Each structure stands twice: as C-alpha cells, then as structure tokens.
Structure 1
C-alpha cells in the first residue's frame, strides 16, 4: 500500500507541473482560460449517456471518451490542458465520470483528472456511483438503503432550491410504468460525519427514520463532486427533472446552449367534420380504406358550446391552442342548413382567443391521385406508367382559397404557415415514396415558409421548395373518436392480437410500443390506461427541450371532449413540478420552425469545429462564423456590448444572438463566482475504484413508452 501511495504522489506532483500552472507564487498570473466544453467519460452505461444527450439537445459542446473502446484517447495532462498565448488553458469546464473513480487502482488517468480538477477548480459529476466514504457518504448498510425507488417520491432540499435545482417546486417522482419490471435503483445514505457534503435531493429511507441522499455536492481535497447515487436513462422523468440542474451545477451556470420546456397543440380540421369510427366494421366510413357497402359516414363536429369550453379552458390554464382550419367545412354546412352555421359564427366571434393555421380549403389529399379500388390504396398512373399527381393549380387553389376565406372571416392569420390535409403532398410510405413535385411549386406560389409534417414519418426538418417543415407529434387521441368508448374500441382493435379480435399489428410489428396484453374495458380504459400513457409521452417531450408541436383534431374537443384529460395531465403535471421561474413555453408554428432551424445550424457548426468559447475571469468570448446564431445560458445580469443578454428562464438568462464573424464578448455580473485557483500544494489521497453498481432492466431497456410512443 505504501509503495502505491508513493508512486501516486510522485505522479500527481509531475502532473501539476505539466498542467500549465507553475508552482511558484510569483507565477500565479495570468488568470487561466477555461474552455466552455464538457468532458464526458463513459463506460457505456445509461447515466453518462443520458447526460451527454442532455448536453447535445441543448447545444452544449462536449467531448466523449468511451472507456470500453480499444485505442481510445488517453486522459493525461497534455490532453486536459496547455498554454495559449502565454495563458494557461483548461480545455474542459467540467468532467463527467461514470462514478467517482472508474479507473483501475493507481490509475495515472484518474491522477491526471484529480490534478486537473484541483488546479483549475473544474467540477466533476459522478453520474451514478455507490454510496461510500470516497464519495462523502456512509455505506448503505449503516442505516441506509440499496434497492428500487419505483413509484417513490424524492424531494429537492432547501440547499438544492437555493442552488442548482431552484427551477423545481420540490417533488421528484420516480416512474413506475410497469410493476413487473425494475425501472430504478438507488443507494440512499447519509453524509459521512465531518464531510463537507451538501445534499441537494433526498428521499425517505425505507424502514428507517430520516432521509438519504440521492444527489449532493461533496467538497474535499480541493475538488468538487456532484454525487448521484441512482441510475437512470435519458427518457426517465426523474432524470429529465434533474438534468438541467446537473448541467448548471457542473458549468457554474456559464455554458453554450440553452434549454426550455415547450408545449404547443395544433387542433386540425376546425370548421370541418371528422368521420366516426365504426366499431362493427372496424373501419371509418368515409375513409378511403373503409370499403364495406354498409359503411355510412357519421360525422363528428364541434358545437358553439365546445368553442366556449375551449376558451374557458385556455383561460384557466394560461394556454393557447392553434386551430388549423378548413373554410369549406363551414361553407358546406351552410349549404346544407339553409345558410346557417352556429359553430362558425361562434368561432369567428371568438377568433381572437386562438391562433390560426391554414389547413387548406377542403382538406383534399394533395399527393398522387389515389386509386381507391384496392385496399390499401395505391397511386394512380398515367398511360405511360408514370405517377399521376395532383396538379400545381389544384394545390395552390386549396391554399389560396382557404387564406382568402380566413381573411374574410377576420381570422388573425400568418400567411406563411400551412398544414396540408393528412400532411399530404409530402412523401408517404409505402405508396408514395417521394414528394408530389407540384407541391414545392404551389408553396412558392403562395409564399409558404413553414409546412407542418408528421414527426412519426419524418422527425427531421427539411426543405420543400421555399418552405421548411415543422415536424408535429401525433397524439394517440384518434381523429375519428368523439367519445371515450369509441377511442377505446379502436385502440383495442389496433393494439390487440387477432385472437383477441384485434388487427394483429403487434404480431406483425413486435417493436410497436403500445401493444396490449388484453383489450381495455371500454368504460374505464380511456381514463385508466390511454390518458396516463399519452400524458406521460407528451410530458416526456416537454421535459426533453423539444419544441415540436403535438396535434389532435377538432373531434377531440367535441362530444366527450376526450382531448382535455390528456392536456390537463400535461399542464397540471408540469405545474406541480416546476417553479414559477420556469414557465411552459407555448410558441406558434413559425417560431417553432425558426427554433428548430437555428438549432440545426448550430449543431452543424459544432460538429464542424467552427465554434470556440472560453471564459477568462468574468468575461466569456465566443468565436463563431458570420451569420450563425449563437446560443448560450449565463447568469442573470450578463451583458453583450453593454446591453442585457438573453431572456430570463429557470433562474438564468439564455437565448440566441447573431454571430457577426468577429468574437462576441459577454460580461458576466460581478456576483458570478469565477473559477478559483485550485490547491496545488499537495495531491489528493488515492481512492479505490468505485464498485460495480446495479442497473435494472427498465433502465437499459426503457419501459413505459417514454422515448416517443
């Protein structure tokens, strides 16, 4: 043991000298440069990957080293730091490790990291570690707990609320999506007596008085560690709630990239009617694939009372719905009802309560001409065998006529937004593997800049002529259901086996995530199964810094108003979790598209190595290409060229600023702690590698449709 310690002391002493800070007091200046980049050291486990995913989603630069890969980069003094223009440079502002020490005993790499962290005051996140004295905690066997936290509730402490987790109200519930599968595992214990340890998140210790730590800060030997003693993946709600705080802690609230919690809901087919599911025929009369001779359409359409309810609901929730409308729905209704349309009259009277999107005049299919003589339909062809397409004039007329109708009704429109019926005109597999070539031309005719697309088909933004797509999440609240029992009946048919009277889609596609072991009760299945599941999926998108909108249909606001329980679940669930300084962001389609496009350009620049950012004392410098919008999260009071930077969110300021090709210089408020010169007088004591920790199946193979439904 003494020989090992002696070797470590010599190694650390040599490393300190190599890290760029001379030992003599006369050479304490200049102030070091800290690059705004995170080092993520992974062992292939889900927790470090989750933190990397959080950084990637926000647009925060990081370098990942996988310890399991042969030939990987070796972590040493030269890799971690150097000197630039005579100034010592730390290449990383934070270090993320799988646990408090993932390296073999006597590791030179751990010694290099230890010296680096102490020299430059760089914090370390232990993504998931065993509770032990080396991490500032007692062993769990001493009055603590090791085991599942499925369905339990943790709490942010007063120190956590005053520190990195101040955006939360306090509760951190752990998911329990499948009682048959373990989805969490944790080590709960109390700090070692005399340790400088601050708990940030705690949970009650089962069978014991008091609480144990799940997340806390451990200060020791001139270093700072954020110790996390529960395992997670990037989709689990407990991680999503804490992810922002983990990043803010490790970066000191100074980093590139930004995150918000977004939720927008588009309601399609407003003014029109949606055909109803037929539980006897197991299809929707009026749909091209429902060819039964006894199929009679049974339309579902909102009423004036439904409009009033929507307005009252919005007011109560502080939330605005986006209505995608079809003007022909009202025109046809008036023709069939002696010129009257009470629904349209009420919608127009209350038009200022909603946002409006052009959804084409009569909601036709704008792709290939459909041959419905076969099921499923196929694209009709010309005599020469080429695909027969809906014409440019037909598409353009649908867009322009609906715009004119909306203007005449006084709807507050933005002319550059469009959602086509069924997202048609764009490719749809398997029948139509390419866009209608006339779509881009018609979009150009009508100056369309933002085009709604189906995220389940095309999750990435792309260009269609002059327009950029805005992928939308389909909610599993069906367009052809106005009553809860209809929704459950169709859900049962789709997601049960043929032997149970279902479609068999799950037998044909085992990867389908919403399969049912048995049919749901039509009286209770909606409230007991579908609503919690759809709420969980949508809230998962909200907590993942994902601005993409969700879409439902006007039929879901009619009759039983089945959309509201899901929307209430998302909004009420969010309000119960987050503090007032972290409001839900509810942007319209154009703004969502712009945000997604800025992010894509930013990520491209990061991958190309075109962005450099660093901090020297109270100044942050960002170098980026001309025309690239730069995003950052910084302390409140930060200025850029003398003006306030960003917008307030979650206790910080963040946002985008145009790049000019010259360095951007941001000045942090005087109250912002600067990285302190670490204690280089003596090396940290050697620690044993962290023991292996348990990872349940529900973490490695996410349970409960939390990824994307």
Structure 2
C-alpha cells in the first residue's frame, strides 16, 4: 500500500478538522484548494516513523514515503508538495510525518519548503519522536524534566486529549516492560515552555518531581501545528497501538481513507465431540498421532451440561458471543453408546440460539492425505507408484454435507457457507503435506462452501480453494488436550523447555520461538502466573492491531477446570479498562470476517496499483475507485453520501466501506467554521530551527520484545 515517490498516482483530499485546524484568511477570488487524501511520511529508518507508516498501511490509508537515507530520493520542494489542478491550488498531502521536528541540516531548503507548505494549506506535522526543548514548545528535559527509561510506566490521557482525538481511551496508557534485561521505551518528559501554545494530550509523572511531563502534545506556532511525540516506540508496542488511532485522526483531521477498529472473535472447536487428553508421564496424547499406536490409556475430555450453563452466563456477563464449531458424530455416537442419552447435547440444543455455529465436519476426519500413523511423526501414505494417497472428493463432501444436514435438522442457526475442517485438514501442512489435497477444492465447490477456516500459524494469507476463501484463525496456546491447569502447564513445560530439562527442545531448534522458557513453570502456579498473562497479551495485541482474524480454542478448554476463561477474561477485561464504550470490541462471525479481509485485499491492490483518486475541497470529499473495488474511509459523525449517513459509529467517528463503481463517489462532511476555503500566500517563512538533537533509541524499540516469565 505504500507508494514510492516515483509512483504517486493516488490523489487524496484535505485534512482539516473542525476543531483542530486554524482559521486562515482567504485571498479575494482565490478558489478553495483541493487537498489530496494522502500522507507524506519522511523517514530516516527509525522505528517510530516505521510504526506510523505501518499503521497507515494496515488501515488502508494511502501514503508516500521519502527515505532520507536514499541517495536517489526526490527532493522535497514546492513542486513536490503542491501544484495547480484544473485551475485550483492542490496540496498533494493532507499531513506530513517527520522523524523529528526537523530532520534536515540547518538552513535546509527542504525544511523551508515544508514550513511554507504547512502554512499555506494548514497542513499538520507529526514529529514522530523528538527531544523536549523550546523549539518544540517544551522546556528542556535536562534539569526540569526527565530523560530516560519509561518501561512499565503508566501514562495517562489528559482532559484535552480525552476531549480531542484520544477520546476513545478511558485514560490509562500503560507502557510495556516485557524484559527485565532489555530497555524497551525511552522518553523525554517535560512541561510546556513559558509562552508556548502547547497542549499536552498524553503525559506521565516526572520522576522525583510533583509535576507531569508531556509525552504527546500539540504545539501551535508560526501558523503551523505540530504533534510533538517525545517517546520512542515500534509498531508492536501496546503504548503505540493504543495511541495510533488518535495520531492518525489528529494528522488527518478525522477525514481519511482507511479504517481502524478492534476485533475479537473466539471459535470453540470440537463441540459435541470429546478431545483426547495429554498424558503427563508419556508426554504425548494417547489416541492422537503423537503417541505410538496403542500407547497409553484413553481418557477423553468432554463438556457436561453445567459447562454449557457457565458458557451462557459468561457470554451474558461479557456481552460476547462464542462461535461453536461442531462435530455431529460426537453426540450421535454418544447416544448409541449410552442408550440414546446425551445430556450435554440436550443442553446445547436447548441453548442453541445463544451461540453461533460453524460446520466442523461430521466425524472430524483428517481430510488431507491418507495418514500413515504407524510412525511418529506420521507421514502421508503412498500408492504403489510412490504418489501420495489422498482422501477422496466424495469422502470430503460427505463429511461436510452430513454435518450440515444434522445441524439443520437440529435447528442450529448455521451459515451453510462456513466451514472449518478438523485440524484444518485438507489444506497444506508442513512438513508432511506441503500442498492442499487436490480433492478439497472440488469438494468445497460441491457443497457450496464460501468461507474456509485456516491456521494462521501455517497459512496466514487469505486465498481461494475451490469456491471457498480462507479465513485465517489464530491458535491460542490453550491446548486442545488439556482440561485441567496441571495438564496445560505440564505440556507447556514439555514443549517450551530444553531437552536437558526434560522438554521437547523445540526452542533449541527454533530460537525465535517467542514462548520459550528458561526453566519449567511451577505446575500449581504456572498457569495463572505465566501462561494466562502471556496469552492475554498476545491475543490483546491482535485485538489492538486492527486485525479481524478469529482465535480458536477447543471444547475441552470450557470443561473441567475451564481453563480458557481466565485468558478470555484477561483480554476483554484489559480491553474494557483501556477503551471507552464507543470503541467496543467488534465480535464478528466467520463470514463477516472473511468479507472484511477480502475487501481489504482488493482495496490494498487498488492502492498499490495507483488506480484510486480521492480528495477534499471544502466540506466535500470525492473518491473514485475502479470497477467493483470498495474503499474504506473514516469521517466525522454526520458525513453523508447522497443524503444518507455514511458508515457506522466507532471511536467518536464513523467508518465503513463505499463503492464508487468507476464514477465519482461524493461524501458531504458536517460544516465546519474552521475549515479553510482557499489557499493563502505564506507569510514570512521563519528560518528552520536547528536540526533536532539525536534521540535515544533503546534496543527494545527496534524490535518486538517477547513477553518474559516475570511479566
């Protein structure tokens, strides 16, 4: 989605918000300028500008990046920034992001051009990470403030921030501290300089003083506006993820292409069925392919009616709906073995409308290659000629159709176009089966499947398989073969410790594994003290990353010790503590997630191809996209298309998808008294400030630091 300076084909419109932009005096007879909805990101390769660029990329907000390290880059001058189009002044960028307040040499003509451009078109500037000093409206950090680590600091949104672009936050902005040995965050905390028009939006206590220092604030001067950020961050850190939306809304005035929402969906696989149990002595799962055939004793885990009651009560308390992926043979076989009785199924069917339901195939059969389980690990069986033996098309179709027919007869509120195969089988799985079962696509076509669940850890990119489009799901490290916390911790220890400690050694073979342990966890306390906080942070990270992909667990995790709930409560509880009610978690079903992901892919392709035009003139935005490509946009509440409200409310704005169909699509914004109506000639351009001092960037801000056992 990033466009280089050589292919700036996307035209995007003005960014002046009602409450954020200064009033400028119009010249007589000067036409209202056109401002293209595109952001200019000037990068020096630092993590903070990279983080903002990643946020724009992820949201679908077009931007052009100029890399100051590139000897062949274009020069930023008046012609690069603005021109005249159809006799109307045109600003090519609605906002400017710089690595700091002035990354150019002293007296730079490029900085002078940016200053003049910002003054002329009321274009805001984000200083991605800069030093606190009078040139940015703050007292020097040395002496009266603080310069140093802010790992683990709990910052807060000020009243001005809550009344403005950070109003979606409850107030707390906790800074990560994931490693006791790696510095992850560095900041300059200081108060506004005397006489400066500076408003802090996010602040933290200055160590050793009774005052608080700004971390994010707005500085108005010389007819310009700067968002001054005085802490360093990367795109993964929670503090940035919490503030990223507000930074983009500030720089765009709340009028931009792209959208950002927070999503969380949880699929519970194997409902009606039973899951095999981990053997803490054998370190494998009897009945599954990781144990030798016949090894161990089967001791399956299956929900009981009380677990259904707990699930419904939990949903009501959280205003959240679980998706149940079911296997009908689980109850059919149970009734056959128990004189027609199945209290669990009876209770689930009585509460069927409380949940969303997904076809998970009738018997949970493996639908890829025919497995040879006589060896561990298993391998694909072969034909006499050495070719792979595949599960047949009819067998796959029967598994899908039989489960659907049972669900319809049982009155489950199904969406027949959704499917998750057992273990995501049929899709490629390395190393044994590096390609899809060639019979899978035709079977999906035969049964009318449009959305197929895949495992994000091995198949993260949305793709087509027959008539179906994949929906990647995040696996949670709450294991399918654990119903009790002791089993979960024992298996976790075995997987993530070294061979010398009795573990699998996976971390020795793959040092990049983020959940490795320095020592085994205490079986009694390890789940609560380590696994739950870790899995909570990982899942919450996905929620805060504008990522709609669902997570998945298993019915065993809702049974016995009900080990899934502490993690789910952690995610939703932490979220509720951080966000206001007008920024709720989006709890979508699988089909809706698939549509969202597919539209994003098409939108990204159109942006990358440079086939989108979008701009603002006054209170009207115009968007032109090719063919059937839908565009995403975020606008102030009250924006309309042809007299109808656009989008749906979220986080104090409205956002949604529109479709121009090859013709201009216009959006009328709520009138704003502060919206400039014409370009003005710049006044005397002040000499650029001296180049910003070099800022401290700790190692932990350059890459994501895995969560440690202590955090």
Decide: shared fold, TM above 0.5: yes
**Structure 1 residue aligned with 2:179:** 178
4+ residue runs over 6 A deviation: none
Aligned-residue offset at 1:24: 12
Superposed, which structure 2 residues align to 1:210-229 within 5 Å? Answer: 210-229=211-230
Aligned-residue offset at 1:349: 0.3
Superposed, which structure 2 residues align to 1:516-535 within 5 Å? Answer: 516-535=517-536
Secondary structure in 2 matching 1:274: coil
Aligned-residue offset at 1:28: 5.4
Equivalent pair of 1:618/1:672 in contact (CA under 8 Å):
no
Deviates more, 1:66-75 or 1:469-478: 66-75
Aligned-residue offset at 1:667: 0.6
Aligned-residue offset at 1:631: 1.1
Secondary structure in 2 matching 1:159: helix
Secondary structure in 1 matching 2:584: coil
**Structure 2 residue aligned with 1:281:** 282
**Structure 2 residue aligned with 1:304:** 305
| Equivalent residues, number | 684
**Structure 2 residue aligned with 1:697:** 699
In 2: Cα distance, 1:631 partner to 1:705 partner: 34
In 2: Cα distance, 1:259 partner to 1:579 partner: 15
Superposed, which structure 2 residues align to 1:262-273 within 5 Å? Answer: 262-273=263-274
Equivalent pair of 2:108/2:688 in contact (CA under 8 Å):
no
In 2: Cα distance, 1:673 partner to 1:577 partner: 31
Aligned-residue offset at 1:81: 0.6
**Structure 2 residue aligned with 1:563:** 564
Secondary structure in 1 matching 2:233: coil
In 1: Cα distance, 2:451 partner to 2:539 partner: 23
**Structure 1 residue aligned with 2:538:** 537
CA displacement, residues 328-368 of structure 1 (integer Å, 9 cap, x when unaligned): 00011111111110100000000000000000000010000
Q: Which has the higher contact order (CA 8 A, sep 6+)?
A: 2
Q: Compared with structure 1, are the counterparts of its residues 77 and 523 closer, same or farther at alpha carbon in structure 2 (3 Å cutoff)?
A: same
Equivalent pair of 2:293/2:374 in contact (CA under 8 Å):
no
In 1: Cα distance, 2:582 partner to 2:264 partner: 16
Equivalent pair of 1:121/1:678 in contact (CA under 8 Å):
no
In 1: Cα distance, 2:638 partner to 2:612 partner: 24
In 2: Cα distance, 1:379 partner to 1:291 partner: 16
In 1: Cα distance, 2:650 partner to 2:680 partner: 31
CA displacement, residues 91-138 of structure 1 (integer Å, 9 cap, x when unaligned): 000000000011111111111111111111100000000001111100
**Structure 2 residue aligned with 1:250:** 251
Aligned-residue offset at 1:685: 3.5
**Structure 1 residue aligned with 2:21:** none
Secondary structure in 2 matching 1:253: coil
In 1: Cα distance, 2:574 partner to 2:431 partner: 38
Secondary structure in 1 matching 2:143: coil
In 2: Cα distance, 1:501 partner to 1:694 partner: 42
**Structure 1 residue aligned with 2:435:** 434
Secondary structure in 2 matching 1:95: strand
Aligned-residue offset at 1:165: 0.4
Residue 75 (structure 2) pairs with residue 74 (structure 1): yes
In 1: Cα distance, 2:99 partner to 2:310 partner: 50
Q: Structure 2: state its 5+ residue gaps.
A: 1-23
Q: Compared with structure 1, are the counterparts of its residues 51 and 28 closer, same or farther at alpha carbon in structure 2 (3 Å cutoff)?
A: farther
**Structure 1 residue aligned with 2:108:** 107
Superposed, which structure 2 residues align to 1:634-645 within 5 Å? Answer: 634-645=635-646
Aligned-residue offset at 1:686: 2.7
Aligned-residue offset at 1:184: 0.6
**Structure 2 residue aligned with 1:3:** none
Equivalent pair of 1:267/1:551 in contact (CA under 8 Å):
yes
Aligned-residue offset at 1:540: 0.4
In 2: Cα distance, 1:573 partner to 1:106 partner: 48
CA displacement, residues 438-490 of structure 1 (integer Å, 9 cap, x when unaligned): 11111111100000000000111000000000000000000000011111100
Secondary structure in 1 matching 2:142: coil
In 1: Cα distance, 2:695 partner to 2:660 partner: 45
**Structure 2 residue aligned with 1:15:** none
**Structure 2 residue aligned with 1:13:** none
Q: Compared with structure 1, are the counterparts of its residues 238 and 679 closer, same or farther at alpha carbon in structure 2 (3 Å cutoff)?
A: farther
Secondary structure in 2 matching 1:275: coil
Q: Compared with structure 1, are the counterparts of its residues 425 and 26 closer, same or farther at alpha carbon in structure 2 (3 Å cutoff)?
A: closer
Secondary structure in 1 matching 2:215: strand
Secondary structure in 2 matching 1:622: strand
Superposed, which structure 2 residues align to 1:469-488 within 5 Å? Answer: 469-488=470-489
Aligned-residue offset at 1:626: 2.1
Secondary structure in 2 matching 1:686: coil
**Structure 2 residue aligned with 1:14:** none
In 1: Cα distance, 2:706 partner to 2:529 partner: 14
Residue 441 (structure 2) pairs with residue 407 (structure 1): no
In 1: Cα distance, 2:458 partner to 2:602 partner: 22
Q: Compared with structure 1, are the counterparts of its residues 124 and 41 closer, same or farther at alpha carbon in structure 2 (3 Å cutoff)?
A: same
Aligned-residue offset at 1:704: 2.4
Secondary structure in 1 matching 2:30: coil
Superposed, which structure 2 residues align to 1:327-338 within 5 Å? Answer: 327-338=328-339
Aligned-residue offset at 1:380: 0.9
In 2: Cα distance, 1:375 partner to 1:451 partner: 28
Aligned-residue offset at 1:684: 2.3
Q: Compared with structure 1, are the counterparts of its residues 151 and 672 closer, same or farther at alpha carbon in structure 2 (3 Å cutoff)?
A: farther
Equivalent pair of 2:632/2:657 in contact (CA under 8 Å):
yes
Q: Structure 1: state its 5+ residue gaps.
A: 1-22
**Structure 2 residue aligned with 1:687:** 689
CA displacement, residues 62-117 of structure 1 (integer Å, 9 cap, x when unaligned): 00111112211211111111110111110000000000011111111111111111
Deviates more, 1:327-336 or 1:599-608: 327-336
- Give the alignment's Cα RMSD to 1 decimal: 1.4
**Structure 1 residue aligned with 2:66:** 65
Equivalent pair of 2:179/2:707 in contact (CA under 8 Å):
no
Aligned-residue offset at 1:671: 3.1
Equivalent pair of 1:635/1:672 in contact (CA under 8 Å):
no
Superposed, which structure 2 residues align to 1:611-650 within 5 Å? Answer: 611-650=612-651
CA displacement, residues 513-544 of structure 1 (integer Å, 9 cap, x when unaligned): 11100000010001101100100000000000
Superposed, which structure 2 residues align to 1:214-613 within 5 Å? Answer: 214-291=215-292, 293-613=294-614
Aligned-residue offset at 1:678: 5.5
Aligned-residue offset at 1:152: 1.2
TM (norm. structure 2) is 0.95
In 1: Cα distance, 2:152 partner to 2:90 partner: 45
In 2: Cα distance, 1:53 partner to 1:584 partner: 21
Superposed, which structure 2 residues align to 1:80-95 within 5 Å? Answer: 80-95=81-96
In 1: Cα distance, 2:512 partner to 2:653 partner: 41
**Structure 2 residue aligned with 1:7:** none
Secondary structure in 2 matching 1:533: helix
TM (norm. structure 1) is 0.95
**Structure 2 residue aligned with 1:149:** 150
Secondary structure in 1 matching 2:406: helix
In 1: Cα distance, 2:655 partner to 2:282 partner: 53
Deviates more, 1:188-197 or 1:668-677: 668-677
**Structure 1 residue aligned with 2:5:** none
**Structure 2 residue aligned with 1:35:** 36
In 2: Cα distance, 1:613 partner to 1:160 partner: 29
